[in-house]
Amino acid sequence: MSAAPDRHDTFARLLHWSMAVLILAMLFIGVGMVASITLRPTLLALHRPIGIALLVLAVVRLVHRLRRRTPELPRDLPGWQRAAAHASHVALYALMLAMPLIGWAMVSAAGNPVLLWDDVQLPAIAPHDPAVYSVLRAAHAWLARALLAVILLHLAAALYHAWIRRDGVFASMAGGRGGARSG
Ligand code: HEM
Ligand code: HEM
């Protein structure tokens, strides 16, 4: 079997950074939507199509991830940090898929059209039912908080690798020179 690569490939890096920007934007758009009645219609019109685009990108990314070898973590990294890295990546993938699906189901359960733009509309994926809506609405808000918490931990870990350990883990996703992993 060939050796593990030093860095994530270009497509994986492109997906990682474009999705990171869009997911962070979606968290702010979501909060803005519930905080401002005036901005709500405009923000909601952005939130739905960007959210569905993120669902498609998350599926493409997961398929790409499962088909390729990714860089290995440095050999001297403590076991608990390896486990934390693995668990947080699994949680990020799960939340990247769950958030848009729950959003879509929630709008369906509210009995509203899942409009992407003008007259492009997705089918309902949940029954029109206030009780189902209420559960999905709470799940969408709580999982958004969980997503933000995992992203902040992930950011802290990335900066720990970049600035303290300087072991090539950050460069493997950032691109450019110096991607070789040490340890
Ligand atoms: C990665 C994808 C997504 C993220 C990160 C996200 C994030 C958020 C956040 C942070 C809120 C505010 C929650 C609160 O503070 O109560 C929100 C609300 C909302 N989201 Fe999403 N969302 C995503 C996808 C979607 C999708 C695909 C749809 C629909 C097709 C959707 C529909 C909604 C609606 C309708 C609300 C507002 C509900 C209300 O005002 O009662 N979301 N979202
Ligand atoms: C919404 C924000 C983000 C999400 C959802 C996210 C998600 C992920 C996921 C799932 C991985 C695992 C590799 C893969 O399969 O693609 C990963 C790797 C990585 N991320 Fe992020 N990321 C985000 C933001 C960031 C930020 C802001 C940084 C740095 C400042 C960062 C740095 C890294 C690095 C260095 C790796 C490589 C880790 C390794 O190869 O072991 N990420 N990210």
Predicted local confidence at residue 118, as pLDDT: 84
User: Is the beta carbon of 141 within 6 A of some atom in ligand 1?
Assistant: yes
CB 71 within 8 A of CB 172: yes
pLDDT in tens, 107-130: 999 999 999 988 899 999 999 999
User: Is the beta carbon of 154 within 6 A of some atom in ligand 2?
Assistant: yes
pLDDT of 180 over the 80 cut: no
Q: Among 140, 147, 150, which is best to mutate for testing ligand 1, by the most ligand atoms less than 8 A from CB?
A: 140
pLDDT in tens, 153-171: 999 999 999 999 999 999 9
pLDDT of 147 over the 90 cut: yes
- Residue 50 Cα to ligand 2 midpoint, Å, equals 19
Task: Tokens 């729950």: give the residue.
Answer: 102
Q: What tokens does 78 get?
A: 């403590």
> Which band of pLDDT confidence, cut at 50, 70 and 90, is reported for residue 66?
very high
Please tell me the distance from the alpha carbon of residue 63 to that of residue 57, in angstroms, as a whole number: 10
Q: What is the DSSP letter of 110?
A: T
User: What Rg value do the Cα atoms of the chain yield, rounded?
Assistant: 19
Predicted local confidence at residue 35, as pLDDT: 97
Amino acid found at 159: L
CB 182 within 8 A of CB 168: yes
Predicted local confidence at residue 175, as pLDDT: 79
Predicted local confidence at residue 117, as pLDDT: 86
User: Is the beta carbon of 52 within 6 A of some atom in ligand 1?
Assistant: yes
- Answer positive or negative: Cα dihedral of 94, 121, 25, 173: positive
- Residue 154 Cα to ligand 2 midpoint, Å, equals 7
